[in-house]
Amino acid sequence: MTEHHPETTAATTSFRRNSPARVAVVQFNPQVGLENRKANSAAVQQRLEAAVAEGANLIVLPELATTGYTFFSREEAFAHAEPVPTGPTVRAWEHFARAHGVYIVGCLPELDGWKLYDTAVLVGPEGFIGKYRKTHLWNEEKLFFTPGDLGYPVFETRLGRIGLLVCWDIWFPETARLVAQQGADIICIPTGWVWTPPPLYDASGTCMAAYLTMTAAHVNNVFIATADRIGVERTSGFMGNSLIAGTNGWPIGRIAGPDEDTILYADIDVVQSRTAPIWNQLNDLHRDRRVDLYDQMLGYRGGSPLPR
């Protein structure tokens, strides 16, 4: 079920690692329906244990990994939702993170009064750290979820600064740019990339979402870890292609296949993004931004820029 991929980029081996981490992205096939909740949670637990056994200390799960994705009604969506962080799913992730000294990025339907959010959460050895509510809703998600209202938070941890996005967000270049501008060292993205208009993949078996992930990492000099799901659930088919992109944009190791039930790993220095190399004597991506022509934070007022 799991695969071990310890490959690193040349840049990560050329100097001492100031914040070494083994990042794991989990790819599997959860299914919607209250009757599947127990099996989904057990599958997540099994994969968390497998990742820890391989030395992972930052683990990213797919979007809505314990509930499934394709709700048929608002009633069903509400039935799957929990408050964050007081619901049982986040509490279970907190317990696991504390017990094993790891960080987990998960995603679940969040219940807040009469609103539902597609919410990514970050937990660690210290417990619940923070959450991000998906700001760009895909297709029928708009029938169930409220667009996120927390902006684009970046969380300080012992490993470094961790930013969160969810799935469709990666199609909007502003999202990764704003998270990176606030100093994120790594962006963790639970995803449920559904089948898009054909062709689904190029000749190498890579989907457009994977290329968008690599592009976002490349143009922001930041690590990005995406955990997708696979299989077919009711009316939705899923792309796979989970990956961990380096600060240069290229995948570290490989991109997961479209139908693989697997875990991919990458050994990185989390804070390498703070010393990402200048491209040449005259060009640096962040320094070259024309902030005399456009606002450094693109008009965003939910956070402050940090030097890169």
Dihedral Cα 175, 86, 126, 186, nearest 10 deg = -10
Q: Please report where in the chains the tokens 């760009």 appear, as a residue.
A: 136
Active site annotation includes 134: yes
Write the DSSP symbol of residue 278: P
d(CA 122, CA 105) in angstroms, rounded, equals 5
221 neighbors 273 (Cβ within 8 angstroms): yes
Q: Among the options 82, 94, 134, 233, which is catalytic? A: 134
Q: Please report where in the chains the tokens 């799957």 appear, as a residue.
A: 80
d(CA 270, CA 222) in angstroms, rounded, equals 9
Amino acid at 179: V
Q: Among the options 107, 141, 167, 233, which is catalytic? A: 167
Q: Among the options 63, 94, 141, 233, which is catalytic? A: 63
Instruction: Look up residue 73 and give its two tokens.
Output: 């009604």
227 neighbors 64 (Cβ within 8 angstroms): no
Active site annotation includes 167: yes
Instruction: Look up residue 28 and give its two tokens.
Output: 């599997």
Active site residues: 63, 134, 167
